[in-house]
């Protein structure tokens, strides 16, 4: 019986899976394998994502077993493992869904050439994006550098494929054994800093599909406003599932279109689709500018006078800056592996503009601590806030952590949850605890500088310093 190897990567699901569907359509059997590729040294799975990967793969293995098939798990260099499997099973075909980061593209191009030279059929598919990066061009034939015209062009041209049902699988019968995922030691032990993750997240395809359905049914109305309020569940929180491919952008697109059929094309839906569009745009930028994770898109920022003070970076990471909305965000990240998008912008602006720490330092921290850490989104987002990216936030836009907190967390619900040291302060002072009356602080046993830190920088002075530095770049 002929064998087709299906190589899982960022597509940990069975439904709407074009590579799996193609493999199952061929005569013979399918051998699905997930490889923890040790040749990819950067950008891929951060420490927090190890937790998600562990549980997602367990769910995927169970899904295969329910279909009467088995998913092999292997760690090592992808080339070595795939060559060994080809030799052992005498496979004639190998298929996978494409990844669009530079490292994966380089690896996959080399492997595809090798397998074709060996006489194998090699098929690859677009599974993760609505529009492939090389196909969207501006009127002059170049690539877009601004989001709005890019997304308008995409909306005119998107022809999402039909959703693909889970195929019937004929699993190959071999003596090949899977590695035990527990031997990968993906879960932290001492200390178990991921202990709180399971309170907020349930990895896997089934949970992903349920989450997007619940969001579209219960939370889409009001999304445009609610998405900016960190104290409520106003966003879909689908991003970790999307990153690991437990749900596809095509599945989300079709479900949103169904919602449009039911309720019309509302401002809320337009805003939500724009978030999907920003993910597409981020991969588009990474595809055309491979250095996006490490170098400023705007070359004027190459010699920007960053301060890179290590102590400030540590205090920011720990949520001990003395600015409650910033500290709440960083603590939410540490406890849940996620951070509200509005707060991501606030904390990123604070690091790069108040503290003038290089944006790459913040981006690296997010890659290691976010469950939805995505090299394209992360890099584009940090560059946008820092003012050096495509379609960047204006250099003079410096998020004021005080007014941002008061505007988007007016009753302090978000801050009180994640910064319990100041939870008893009244609403009007919870975002500026250092301005509270001494009597109020004494009554609540709050000691600024001891039980909760003083602001590590003065907002106005930090703002002026940043404006001066950014002004020099603007005029260069």
**Marked catalytic residue, from 43, 201, 359, 384:** 359
Which of 3, 18, 156 lies closest to 82, judged by CA?
Answer: 3
Choosing from 253, 341, 413, 434, which is the catalytic residue?
Answer: 341
306 labelled catalytic: yes
CA–CA gap between residue 468 and residue 476 (Å, rounded): 12
How many CB atoms are closer than 10 A to CB 157? 11
Task: Determine whether 341 is an active site residue.
Answer: yes
Distance CA 248, CA 84 (A): 30
Q: Give just the sign of the alpha carbon dihedral 332, 334, 340, 342.
A: positive
The CA radius of gyration of the chain, in Å to the nearest whole number, is 24
Please check whether residue 415 is in contact with residue 409, taking contact to mean a CB–CB distance below 8 angstroms: yes
The active-site residue out of 382, 384, 400, 421 is 382
220 Ramachandran zone, left/alpha/beta (phi>0; psi -120 to 50) = alpha
* Nearest residue to 77 (alpha-carbon basis) of 107, 37, 45: 37
338 catalytic per annotation: no
Terminus-to-terminus CA distance in the chain, angstroms? 67
Q: Are 203 and 187 in contact (CB under 8 A)?
A: no
The b/e string for 418-427 (b: 16+ C-beta within 10 A; e otherwise) is: bbebbeebee
Distance CA 453, CA 52 (A): 33
Query: What share of residues in the chain are helix, strand, coil (percent, to 5)?
Result: 50, 5, 40
CA distance 219 to 41: 38
Instruction: List the beta strands (DSSP E) in 98-166.
Output: 121-125
Query: Is 51 in the active site?
Result: no
Residue of 79, 176, 179, 275 marked active site? 275
- 158 Cβ partners below 8 Å, 6+ apart? 130, 131, 253
Residue 173 Cα to chain centre, angstroms:
37
Torsion of CA 174, 179, 181, 186, to 10 degrees: -150
**What is the Cα–Cα distance from 56 to 50, expressed in whole angstroms?**
10
Residue 193 among the catalytic residues: no
**Which of the following is catalytic: 184, 193, 253, 306?**
306
Say if strands 93-97 and 3-8 run parallel, antiparallel, or are unpaired: parallel
Instruction: Please list the active-site residues.
Output: 275, 278, 306, 341, 359, 382
């Amino acid at each position: 019986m002929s064998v087709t190897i299906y190589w899982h990567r960022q597509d940990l699901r069975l439904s709407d899976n074009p590579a799996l569907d193609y493999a199952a359509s061929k005569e013979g059997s399918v051998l699905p394998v997930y490889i923890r590729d040790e040749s990819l040294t950067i950008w891929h799975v951060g420490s927090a994502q190890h937790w998600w990967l562990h549980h997602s793969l367990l769910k995927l293995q169970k899904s295969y077993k329910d279909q009467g098939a088995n998913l092999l798990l292997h760690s090592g260099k992808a080339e070595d493992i795939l060559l060994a499997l080809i030799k052992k099973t005498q496979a004639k075909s190998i298929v996978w869904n494409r990844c669009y980061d530079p490292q994966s593209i380089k690896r996959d191009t080399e492997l595809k050439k090798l397998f074709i030279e060996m006489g194998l059929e090699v098929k690859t598919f677009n599974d993760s994006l609505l529009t492939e990066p090389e196909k969207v061009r501006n009127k002059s034939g170049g690539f877009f550098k601004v989001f709005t015209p890019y997304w308008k062009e995409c909306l005119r041209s998107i022809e999402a494929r039909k959703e693909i049902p889970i195929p019937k699988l004929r699993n190959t019968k071999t003596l090949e054994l899977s590695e035990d995922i527990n031997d990968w030691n993906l879960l932290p032990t001492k200390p178990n800093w991921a202990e709180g993750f399971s309170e907020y997240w349930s990895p896997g395809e089934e949970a992903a599909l349920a989450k997007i359905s619940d969001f579209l049914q219960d939370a889409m109305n009001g999304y445009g406003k609610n998405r900016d309020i960190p104290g409520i569940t106003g966003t879909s929180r689908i991003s970790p599932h999307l990153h690991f491919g437990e749900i596809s952008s095509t599945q989300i697109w079709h479900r949103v279109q169904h919602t449009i059929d039911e309720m019309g094309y509302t401002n809320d839906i337009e805003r939500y689709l724009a978030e999907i569009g920003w993910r597409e745009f981020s991969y588009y930028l990474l595809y055309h500018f491979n250095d996006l994770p490490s170098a400023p898109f705007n070359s004027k920022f190459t010699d920007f006078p960053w301060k890179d003070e290590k102590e400030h970076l540590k205090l920011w990471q720990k949520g001990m800056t003395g600015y409650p909305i910033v500290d709440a965000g960083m603590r939410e990240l540490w406890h849940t592996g996620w951070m509200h998008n509005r707060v991501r912008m606030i904390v990123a602006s604070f690091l790069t503009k108040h503290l003038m720490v290089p944006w790459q330092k913040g981006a690296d921290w997010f890659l290691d601590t976010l469950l939805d850490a995505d090299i394209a989104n992360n890099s584009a987002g940090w560059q946008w806030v820092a003012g050096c990216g495509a379609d960047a936030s204006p250099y003079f836009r410096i998020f004021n952590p005080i007014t941002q907190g008061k505007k988007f967390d007016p009753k302090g619900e978000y801050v009180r949850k994640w910064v319990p040291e100041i939870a008893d302060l009244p609403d009007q002072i919870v975002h500026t605890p250092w301005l509270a009356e001494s009597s109020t602080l004494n009554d609540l046993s709050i000691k600024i500088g001891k039980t909760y830190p003083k602001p590590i920088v003065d907002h106005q002075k930090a703002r002026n310093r940043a404006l001066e530095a950014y002004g020099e770049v603007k005029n260069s």
